[in-house]
């Protein structure tokens, strides 16, 4: 994973001497770490590959390519590499520490839970909004929230149900299960007036 994100790939011409520096440039652009440095679309990538393929077939490059299967393999390789870079970028961004802006309380990344405690919140029905200290939304139930030790106010809200408040004291390495049943708001039958 580290190599994908930080090291430059080996130019294809070093692996296959029938490939040109032009192909190295196409591959290099497709595998750039920053999305802004890559091709803007699959169409642009394909057009660049076709242009280079046509140049090679017309003999405008010092090396010629006789076998189109190499292009298919190269395109497949580039597509796989681009997918790997995308997944690695997504994974890293999804696993970075998150800070709640209203309270500046950090939720713990999964690998440092021993200095934090956790609250596992479930509700019936599921899908209630969980607010930390009654103002910072942390997600929908069911959810596990990792927090540094301290006292917290939780508020659960779901349309059509009464709000539920709870005070929780989180200790280091504690795991607090919170399983609640939300009470539906009773709706009284109303009178409907019809105007003619």
Q: Could you tell me the residue ranges of all domains in the chain? A: 2-94, 99-181
pTM for the model stands at 0.40
Residues paired with 117 in a beta bridge: 147
Q: Where are the beta strands (DSSP E) in 57-105?
A: 98-99
Q: Assign residue 173 a region: left if phi > 0, alpha if psi is -120 to 50, beta otherwise?
A: left
Tokens of 177: 């299960």
Distance CA 11, CA 2 (A): 18
Tokens of 156: 């659960």
Q: Are 65 and 53 in contact (CB under 8 A)?
A: yes
Q: Are 65 and 35 in contact (CB under 8 A)?
A: no
Name the residue among 75, 89, 68 with its Cα closest to residue 27: 75
Architecture per CATH, domain 99-181, reads as Sandwich (2.60)
How do the pLDDT tens digits run along the chain, 196 residues long? Answer: 566 667 777 888 888 877 778 778 888 888 887 878 888 887 888 788 777 766 655 555 444 444 566 667 777 777 777 788 777 666 666 554 443 333 334 444 444 446 888 899 999 999 999 998 878 888 889 999 888 999 999 999 998 999 999 898 999 888 899 999 999 988 766 665 656 5
Say which DSSP state 184 is in: B
Say which DSSP state 126 is in: S
């Amino acid at each position: 994973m580290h190599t994908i994100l930080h090291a430059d790939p080996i130019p294809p011409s070093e692996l296959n001497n029938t490939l040109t520096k032009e192909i190295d440039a196409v591959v290099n652009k497709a595998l750039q770490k920053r999305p802004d440095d890559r091709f803007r679309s699959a169409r642009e990538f394909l057009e660049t590959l076709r242009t280079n393929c046509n140049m090679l077939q017309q003999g405008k490059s010092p090396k010629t390519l006789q076998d189109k299967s190499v292009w298919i393999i190269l395109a497949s390789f580039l597509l796989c590499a681009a997918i790997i870079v995308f997944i690695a970028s997504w994974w890293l961004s999804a696993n970075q520490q998150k800070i709640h802006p209203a309270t500046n309380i950090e939720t713990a990344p999964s690998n440092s839970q021993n200095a934090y405690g956790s609250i596992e919140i479930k509700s019936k029905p599921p899908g209630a909004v969980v607010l930390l200290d009654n103002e910072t939304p942390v997600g929908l139930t069911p959810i596990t929230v990792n927090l540094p030790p301290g006292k917290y106010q939780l508020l659960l809200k779901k349309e059509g149900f009464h709000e539920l408040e709870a005070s929780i004291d989180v200790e280091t390495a504690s795991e607090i299960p919170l399983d609640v049943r939300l009470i539906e708001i009773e709706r009284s039958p109303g009178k409907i007036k019809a105007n003619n």
